[in-house]
Amino acid sequence: MDAPVNVLATVASLNSLPTDLLLSIVDLCLESMGSVGLDSRHRQLTKLCAICPKLRNTIIGRTKYWTTISSALRERPIMQDYLIRSVNEDIHIVLLDEDGQGSCEALMGVVIQGRNRWSSFSLHLTGGEFMDEHYLMNRTLRQIDYHLLYLELPRLQDLRIHYDNPPAGFTTDFFTTWNCRDLRSMEMANIAPRIMTATSLTSFSM
């Protein structure tokens, strides 16, 4: 996985390489990782950015690397960087409770600032493989619930909600309060939502 990075590090002068070629090499580095989580992908981008200022500026200036913002990133400053670097592009929000309540709340605190750019929203509440019944009964996502109610989402097209163990104090059908007139696809698991006002749906699964 690090081989392309090592090749880049041996280039005598990256200043002589055109931007398109640098981006192709970055894409190759990311593709060589296969299917990995966003946290691993971010670590690889960080390694590449550390090689030289030109490569760093090239990567940071390419919005496509920053359009998926996930709780897997863990830290609010990193999430904020993704939001800023994605500029005005559509963004994709991925919220996973297995990343921890702090990460989930940090994510929502950041991405709510760019809600007019949400293109897809994915929420998976699993409860976690090692979380006992006491934890599941007492955990709460009230701060997230606060962020998720009554949103105007003009670009949202894809919505995915999967519940294994919804937490206490959480409005499970929060998305029925949204105004998302361009919503195209909904995928639900373990939830039967109230009727939504979206009339543009072309795909729905439960």
Secondary structure letter of residue 139 according to DSSP: -
Q: What mean pLDDT do residues 41-54 have?
A: 89
CA angle 28, 156, 58 (to 5 degrees): 30
Indicate whether 104 pLDDT > 50.
Answer: yes
Number of residues that make up the chain: 206
Confidence check: pLDDT of 65 > 70: yes
Above 90 in pLDDT, residue 35?
A: no
User: pLDDT: is 70 or 18 the higher one?
Assistant: 70
The model's confidence at residue 197, banded by pLDDT at 50, 70 and 90, is low
Separation of CA 92 from chain center: 5
pTM for the structure as a whole: 0.84
Please check the confidence at residue 137 and state whether its pLDDT lies above 50: no
For residue 97, give both structure tokens. 């409770």
**Strand boundaries in the chain, DSSP class E:** 68-70, 91-96, 118-125, 158-163, 185-189, 203-205
Tell me the per-residue pLDDT of 156-178, one tens digit each, with 9 for 90 and over. Answer: 999 999 988 766 667 788 898 99
